[in-house]
Amino acid sequence: MTDSSRLWLQRAILLVAILAAWEACARLVSDRWISSPVAIAERLAQWMAGDLWYHMMITGTEIGAGLAIGIPLGVLTGMLLGRSKRMAAVFRPFIVLMNSLPIVALTPLLIMWFGLGMQPKIVLVAFVSFLLMFFNSFSGARAVDEELMDTLALMGASAKERFVKVVVPSCLTWTIAGLKNALPYALIAAVIGEMMLSRNGLGHLITRSAQQFDMTGIYTALFVLMVVGGLINEGTTQLENRLLRWRHLETRGR
């Protein structure tokens, strides 16, 4: 047996053990607070035949639209500001202040501004992802190796060419790191927005279940969120591996 298949076997055993203990607890003691794996599986099947996809679509659209606004804006402004010493100095205190604000605390304000539909969640996701991408790209642009910039300048590269060929790729490490933060945060932002006030989305599934004191519903919604979050994480890791191969070679040591 290879090392990796043994590892997976051990993980599977642990998972089965946890589920078995949970199920046993639910049956022998009470499933009032903890529901049970079987009940959750049944509910999941029921939802999948019903409106789960609709709610997922809503949350997915909010996240997608928010990221589509926040990421490019954040990356671009971060890189541009980071390259200008003056601008960086002027903006620094504001950036620090913005960074210390727990962004989800803006949710009530945004709901008042934009109402109950998808807009406040999109704005929230955009805001969160903008800030995270901005901070990372900003630091990345500050950390560009000036000798590489000089090298290209001597070859006759224009300021724009240097930006495209040196600043952007060397920021990529930072951008990807930002992305690895921003994507899970985008999910959090969207779900919190939905939990506060809304009629649909995965966050709404949780609040709806909670209002009906439906433990199984809460656990099922949490399970779905866990799977979605896991998929997002896996996606960014794959992207990172693909885009930053040179970086891994560097850090692995020579």
Exactly one of 73, 80, 153, 197 binds another protein (CB under 8 A); that residue is: 153
Burial class (CB in 10 A: 0-12, 13-18, 19+), 202: buried
Exactly one of 42, 51, 161, 234 binds another protein (CB under 8 A); that residue is: 161
Q: Which residues contact 167 (CB under 8 A, 6 or more apart)?
A: 79, 83, 141, 144, 149
Query: Mind giving me the DSSP string for 134-149?
Result: HHHHHHHHHT--HHHH
Judged by CB under 8 A, the stretch of 48-56, 93-101, 156-164, 207-215 that binds another protein is 156-164
The nearest distance, CB 136 to another protein, in angstroms, is 17
Q: At what angle do helices 52-83 and 119-142 cross, to 10 degrees?
A: 30
CB 195 within 8 A of CB 55: no
Under rule CB under 8 A, residue 148 binds another protein: yes
Structure-block tokens of residue 112: 């008042």
The nearest distance, CB 248 to another protein, in angstroms, is 9
Q: Vertex 83, ends 77 and 89: CA angle to 5°?
A: 90
Exactly one of 76, 98, 114, 165 binds another protein (CB under 8 A); that residue is: 165
Under rule CB under 8 A, residue 3 binds another protein: no
Under rule CB under 8 A, residue 158 binds another protein: yes
Under rule CB under 8 A, residue 210 binds another protein: no
Exactly one of 32, 33, 156, 242 binds another protein (CB under 8 A); that residue is: 156
Position 175: which residue type? T
Under rule CB under 8 A, residue 150 binds another protein: yes
Under rule CB under 8 A, residue 172 binds another protein: yes
Under rule CB under 8 A, residue 145 binds another protein: yes
Exactly one of 169, 197, 210, 232 binds another protein (CB under 8 A); that residue is: 169
Total chain residues near another protein (CB under 8 A): 24
Neighbour count for residue 44 (Cβ, 10 Å): 18
Output the CA–CA distances (angstroms, integers) from residue 26 to 19, 89, 235, in the order listed.
10, 59, 35
Residues near another protein (CB under 8 A) are 145, 147-148, 150-158, 161, 165-166, 169-170, 172, 245-247, 249-250, 254
